[in-house]
Amino acid sequence: MDEDGSAAAPEPVTARVGPWPAGDATDPDAGLVRRLMGVPAPALAIMDATGRVVDANDSFLRLGGVGREELEAGRLRWDALAAPESPAAGAHALDMLRRLGTAGPLETEYVRPDGSRVPVRVAALGLEQPERLLVLVQDLTPRRRAEEALRFLSDASRELAEVRAEPEAILAGVAHLAVSAMATWCLVDVLEEDGNFRRVAQAHREPGCEALLREAPRYPPITDAQSPLFQALARGESRVYPDFLPEHQVLMARGAGALAQLEQLGARSVMLVPMRSRGHAVGLLTFASCDVGRRYGSEDLEMVEELARRVVAAVENARLYHQGQDAVRLRDEFLGIASHELKTPLTPLRLRLQMLQRQTEGALRTGEPLSPERLSEGLDVALRQVRKLADLVDNLLDVSRITAGRMKLELEDVDLAALASELVSRFTPSAVQFGCTLELHAPAAVVGRWDRLRVEQVVTNLLTNALKYGAGRPVVVRVEGVGERARLTVQDHGIGIAEEDLGRIFERFERAVSDRHYGGLGLGLYITRQIVEALGGTVRVSSRPGMGSTFTLELPLGAP
């Protein structure tokens, strides 16, 4: 090894049949060469002028991938080892030897009989024995691997720095980068909360093999007691198989079909490296090499483990970036909707107050008394708009309390059936305005320990939505006791909700309809869910577009 830790490259190495000649006892080289040939490292060989290897130590033979029988049979030649595309290297070395007595160090590649290549550094010097050269060969594979690893991690870091990309796009980029540098094929799986792996990316060096790779067997869940390998991976333990053998294949694939698919991919060496976040496995990187002579080792494993750490950080950064972008978008949408919703009651309130002001000024000028009916009507309108403003502000304050964890509950015995009856009576005038009827089915009292005002707020929100989106059709409210729980349902027969929107309508500022056609801040159902969950209950919805919606509220009868 050189001082920089790099390995030497092969230069013209000659082969010789038979041992180093006994020669004269006074030959200054004979004893030295015999001792050198017994040294295990570095790789040493003796060449003659024709290019045959006369003698070599075991390190040289291992480096060239040849046996000692080849050497002793006289069939080992340097030009059989040297890379065919660099013949000038040997001629240049011989010219240096003639002029200077030494040659090198020069870097090239040896080509083994199995076709694999070894990067080497070669130096040579002439011996006193006529037409004999001592060749020293250093394996540069460790250095090349280290350079490749640094290059790969550098390229990966540039790829991972793009936080604007979606997380799965980042993982796909990593897979393609892997096959461009150190793998024949690469798989990326994420670990779901239920313990199942979900494949999100795959890449193959040969584009024609992409279809085959897409059919690669899926990994068993970590909850499977018969998959100790994947249980270990879930604990964050990496695995490297320098030689990927049949007994390793059965750990990764279940059943004859899956094994056959894995065998078709032709992996000779494999690494399995978990991606971990906050102490838990969140995914898995699979690197496979199909190249002869490319065996993964501990250095490769360390490099891919470092890559996994960077990938997790990049995915987390991208996720946070997109969450931030979504939050900004929601904020902007909310500000637009809030300004509109706050302006809606303010406009009639201002107009009504201006009208009352004009009427008062006119009465003062003329001395005529104000009409009590007109004054009462004007004040009623103003008070309705003030109540709307108060409701909007209360919703905003509720969101602030919920976000800060400061929503307090005042528990007392509440009859849900009686509360529903009271609210249905209160909403009956509104139902008439919407052109629909309100029906209540509450055959018996259902008493639980809840916060009365908060439960009233929840039912009010559900009734408000039912009337708003009920398309003038009947709205039915049912209250019943089910075991240790109270159940209230509000069913309308209106516009309904699309299936893709059902999961998000309970989030902040989310709406399943256009705000241009229906008012509101998109906070009612969010607040509803937070209150219900704080009381230890659940709220859910079932709906079909054009067929109406049914919201079901369930609360435990006892205190949460």
Residues 482 and 510 in one domain: yes
Residue ending a domain, among 386, 404, 422, is: 404
**E strand or H helix at 159:** helix 141-160
pLDDT, average across residues 78-96: 66
- Give the per-residue SS3 of 61-101: HHHHCCCHHHHHCCCCEHHHHECCCCCHHHHHHHHHHHHHC
> How many domains is the chain partitioned into structurally?
4
pLDDT, average across residues 437-451: 93
Has this prediction a pTM greater than 0.75? Answer: no
CA distances from 87 to 10, 78, 108, 132, 186 (A): 12, 11, 10, 20, 36
Residues 151 and 290 in one domain: yes
- Residue burial 258-295, b: 16+ Cβ < 10 Å; e: rest: bbebbeebebbbbbbbbbbeeeebbbbbbbbbbeeebb
Percent over 70 (pLDDT), the chain: 79
- pLDDT at residue 228, as a whole number: 79
Q: What is the mean pLDDT of the chain?
A: 79
Residues pairing with 269 in the sheet: 289
Eight-class DSSP state of 494: S
> Would 17 be classed as within a structural domain?
no
62-66, 266-270, 365-369, 550-554: least confident range: 365-369
Does position 337 have pLDDT exceeding 70, yes or no?
A: no
> Would 198 be classed as within a structural domain?
yes
Pairing of strands 438-441, 475-482: parallel
- pLDDT at residue 14, as a whole number: 34
Higher local confidence (pLDDT), 69 or 521? 69
Q: How confident is the model at residue 29 (pLDDT cuts 50, 70, 90)?
A: low
Look up the domain containing 355 and give its range: 327-404
Residues 203 and 129 in one domain: no
In CATH, what number is assigned to the domain containing residue 118? 3.30.450.20
Report the alpha-carbon distance of residue 97 to residue 49 in Å, rounded: 11
Residues 166 and 88 in one domain: no
Q: With beta carbons less than 8 A apart as the criterion, state whether 526 and 508 touch.
A: yes
Report the alpha-carbon distance of residue 165 to residue 187 in Å, rounded: 19
> Would 13 be classed as within a structural domain?
no
In CATH, what number is assigned to the domain containing residue 370? 1.10.287.130
Query: How large is the angle between the packed helices 524-534 and 372-404, nearest 10 degrees?
Result: 60
Give the pLDDT confidence of 458-516 residue by residue, as tens digits.
Answer: 998 899 889 888 878 999 999 999 999 999 999 999 888 888 888 778 877 665 544 44
Q: How confident is the model at residue 5 (pLDDT cuts 50, 70, 90)?
A: very low
Residue ending a domain, among 299, 321, 343, is: 321
Residues 289 and 207 in one domain: yes
